[in-house]
């Protein structure tokens, strides 16, 4: 029996040791799902604070209940470490490290390269390596495979490689890890089979595809689709502003069509670890092939300029009452990139705060999930959302529509409100005080 056939048996029999490299928004929930299925799981991270938190049974991710972590740890099913020598004892390694963009908006695969180098140094026969981190098509085949084959071990005979993109949607309670279909693509048919068997442990539906490149492209298409359609919604908001129309009324009416229309909503810009990033990975790859990704470039331009539009509209609202932005007290509500999360990666709120501050605004913020945010080297501390704070502000700008906010109280106390999320549409008295995107 070959080592990979033995691995297949270990996966099927529940004996495989599952490794998860990167214990963030993607890695920790995945590790817990394997632990729930009674597999032995080892979590790896370079951040000792995360490792210590897991060891103590503490959750540092809002979507993950502390009781789940505590239970998995107390039963001995989940351990965490910064010691990468432990990689060698894992049969399956899921790589879930960040793949952000550089300041120049190019793919930053430094975290990924670092994790893969640690794996290369400990690679042994009988292991399956699965990339889950978002990246450009060809990364697995062009970067990971040659790196691991450089050890002298043979792909498809000694070790297996697959790509299985993450589909985590933070704060979405409707779909758990198990309920979201999992796409897997291997470097060989056996690699695909091993990845499929692995994820059938934690996912109700597994969708095999023909290659790692196909699986990589699937992930990028999903979020590029969203980015482009949000770009269309944002451009519609800009057009409605010029036409004197209510974009929210237009969107809601269009959404009543039972076929041929999918509702996407405008907002202050894109944020998070996927939608603003993934299309850029794809456009970057296509640029190397001398293929201009025009839809992506246009949507990126429109979405990227929405914070500037917000700043301009705030200035316009203040000017109507002969108040200059310079010196105006501006309260921003919400700096997380989306509702009900604490993640500020790529958040448009940062650009909104920057733009208002550059015009001389005295900016403060409130976010129930975020205690502080840094913009251009300046740290802004969260202020209380008191009636006094609201009434003392010249304008309140709603950037993130957290469920915990009492929007009626905001409308009652604030002298002026600019709502980029339609959070106050059905609040009593909003028509007299609120301007919408």
- The structure tokens listed for 226 are 């969203």
Other C-beta atoms within 10 Å of 98: how many? Answer: 18
- Which domain-ending residue is among 283, 304, 325? 304
Give yes or no: residues 175 and 255 share one domain.
Answer: no
Note the pTM of the prediction, 2 decimals. 0.92
Task: Report helix angle 294-304 to 278-288, nearest 10.
Answer: 140
Based on its alpha-carbon atoms, the radius of gyration of the chain, rounded to whole angstroms, reads 24
- The structure tokens listed for 110 are 């430094």
Q: What is the arrangement of strands in the sheet containing 329-333, beginning at the earlier edge strand?
A: 362-366, 329-333, 395-398, 417-419, 434-436
Structure-derived torsion over alpha carbons of residues 52, 54, 55, 57, reported in degrees to the nearest 10: 120
Residue 1: the pLDDT is 54
Give yes or no: residues 334 and 291 share one domain.
Answer: no
What residue numbers bound the domain in which 172 lies?
3-210
Domain with residue 344: its CATH number is 3.40.50.720
Active-site position among 96, 203, 240, 274: 274
Give yes or no: residues 157 and 227 share one domain.
Answer: no
Give yes or no: residues 164 and 279 share one domain.
Answer: no
What is the phi-psi region of residue 356: left when phi exceeds 0, alpha when psi lies from -120 to 50, beta otherwise? alpha
Give yes or no: residues 286 and 323 share one domain.
Answer: no
Give the per-residue SS3 of 184-233: EEECCHHHHHHHHHHHCCCCCCEEEECCHHHHHHHHHHHHHHHHHHHHHH
Which residues have CB under 8 Å from 383's CB, separation 6+? 331, 364, 365, 366, 389
Residue 18: the pLDDT is 98
Give yes or no: residues 108 and 7 share one domain.
Answer: yes
Instruction: Provide the β-strand partners of residue 379.
Output: 374
In angstroms, the Cα distances linking 408 to 168, 188, 268, 427, 434 are 32, 57, 21, 6, 11
Give yes or no: residues 186 and 50 share one domain.
Answer: yes
Give yes or no: residues 35 and 129 share one domain.
Answer: yes
Other C-beta atoms within 10 Å of 57: how many? Answer: 16
Angstrom distance (rounded) from CA 289 to CA 278? 17
Give yes or no: residues 88 and 118 share one domain.
Answer: yes
Q: Which among 294, 282, 27, 289 is positioned nearest to 139, based on CA atoms?
A: 282
Give me the helices (H) in 244-368, please: 247-254, 278-288, 294-304, 306-320, 348-358
Is 274 a known active-site residue? Answer: yes
User: How many domains are contained in the chain?
Assistant: 3
- The structure tokens listed for 121 are 């140094």
Mean pLDDT, consecutive 10-residue stretches, the chain (437 aa), reads 89 97 95 97 97 96 93 97 97 94 84 95 97 93 95 96 92 87 97 98 97 97 96 98 97 97 96 88 93 95 97 98 97 97 94 98 98 96 97 98 97 98 96 95
């Amino acid at each position: 029996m070959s080592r990979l056939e033995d691995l297949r048996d270990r996966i099927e029999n529940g004996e495989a040791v599952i490794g998860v490299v990167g214990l963030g928004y993607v890695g920790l929930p995945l590790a817990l799902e394997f632990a729930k299925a009674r597999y032995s799981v080892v979590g790896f991270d370079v951040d000792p604070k995360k490792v210590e938190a897991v060891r103590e049974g503490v959750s540092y991710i809002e979507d993950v209940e502390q009781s789940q972590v505590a239970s998995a740890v107390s039963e001995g099913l989940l351990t965490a470490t910064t010691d990468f020598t432990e990689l060698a004892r894992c049969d399956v390694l899921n790589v879930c490290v960040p793949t952000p963009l550089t300041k120049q908006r190019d793919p930053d695969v430094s975290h990924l390269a670092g994790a893969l180098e640690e794996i290369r140094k400990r690679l042994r026969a009988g292991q399956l390596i699965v990339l889950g981190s978002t990246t450009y098509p060809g990364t697995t085949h062009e970067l990971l495979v040659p790196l691991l084959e450089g050890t002298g071990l043979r792909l498809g005979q000694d070790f297996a490689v697959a790509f299985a993109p993450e589909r985590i949607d933070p704060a979405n309670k409707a779909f758990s890890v198990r309920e979201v279909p999992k796409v897997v693509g291997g470097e060989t048919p056996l690699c695909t089979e091993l990845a499929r068997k692995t994820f059938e442990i934690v996912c109700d539906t597994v969708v095999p595809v023909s290659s790692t490149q196909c699986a990589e492209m699937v992930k990028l298409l999903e979020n590029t689709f969203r980015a482009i359609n949000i770009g269309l919604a944002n451009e519609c908001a800009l057009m409605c502003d010029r036409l004197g129309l209510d974009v929210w009324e237009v969107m809601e009416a269009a959404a009543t069509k039972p076929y041929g229309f999918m509702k996407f909503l405008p907002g202050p810009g894109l944020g998070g670890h996927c939608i603003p990033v993934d299309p850029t990975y794809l456009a970057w790859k296509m640029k190397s092939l001398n293929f201009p990704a025009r839809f992506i470039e246009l949507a990126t331009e429109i979405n990227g300029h929405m914070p500037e539009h917000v700043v301009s509209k705030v200035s316009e609202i203040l000017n109507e009452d002969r108040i200059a932005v310079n010196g105006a007290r501006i309260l921003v509500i919400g700096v997380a990139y989306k509702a009900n999360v604490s993640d500020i990666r790529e958040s448009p709120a940062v650009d909104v705060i920057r733009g208002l501050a550059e015009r001389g605004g005295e900016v403060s913020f409130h976010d129930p999930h975020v205690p502080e945010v840094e913009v251009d080297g300046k740290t802004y501390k969260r202020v209380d959302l008191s009636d006094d704070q609201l009434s003392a502000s010249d304008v309140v700008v709603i950037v993130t529509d957290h469920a915990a906010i009492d929007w009626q109280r905001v409308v009652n106390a604030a002298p002026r409100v600019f709502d980029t999320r339609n959070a106050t549409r059905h609040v009593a008295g909003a028509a007299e005080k609120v301007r919408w995107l």
